[in-house]
Structure 1
Amino acid sequence: MENLKPLSDFFAAIEKDFRISTTHIAIYAALLQLRIGKGFINPVEVFSRDIVSIAKISSTYTYIKCVQDLNDYGYINYVRSFKKTQASKIYFVDLQGS
């Protein structure tokens, strides 16, 4: 159940945030799933192609836009890699107090 706490905290934080769409939620959940699969590390290194597949979205552009939004809104810290062979880093923010 401890693994669900970050997702619960995220839902509590976005409850009144009109900027968050279902795509943002799908991407955050996919990022969290990947993080759990990698032993709950922070940061997690990700390739957009992996998250696009898990989140069931069809566009890398949509992924980049939504991850950048989540970064700008303070839900994650996103360090983008512009190299196809190097993963980007996603730092999860503690949302418990949000």
Structure 2
Amino acid sequence: MNYFFISTTFTFLLLFLISLLGMFINKKNILIMLMSLEMLFLASSFFFIFSAVYLDDISGQIFAILILTVAASESAIGLAILVIYYRIRNTISVELMDLMKG
């Protein structure tokens, strides 16, 4: 086994676990939850890119581009919803999100 692949896999797992902890431990701030979701997407694309380099295959890089496209659209839509919610409620607290109907 190559040390390059082991170190990148360890880095991917570390970033992935930190982002999962950020998603599930934080229950109050929606911005930190969105940033953790972005970091989750970036960690998975990081793994796909380095596995594509290691295996000398381009399919991992294509998946990484697709993941980054989904991450960009998710952040744009999420921030737009957040701005509209803040204009209506004057707060971005996650506890009050269950009051939204429709």
Q: Tell me the TM-score normalized by structure 1.
A: 0.33
| Structure showing the higher strand proportion among its residues | 1
Structure number with greater Rg is 2
| Structure showing the higher helix proportion among its residues | 2
Q: Bigger relative contact order, structure 1 or 2, given CA contacts below 8 A and separation 6+?
A: 1
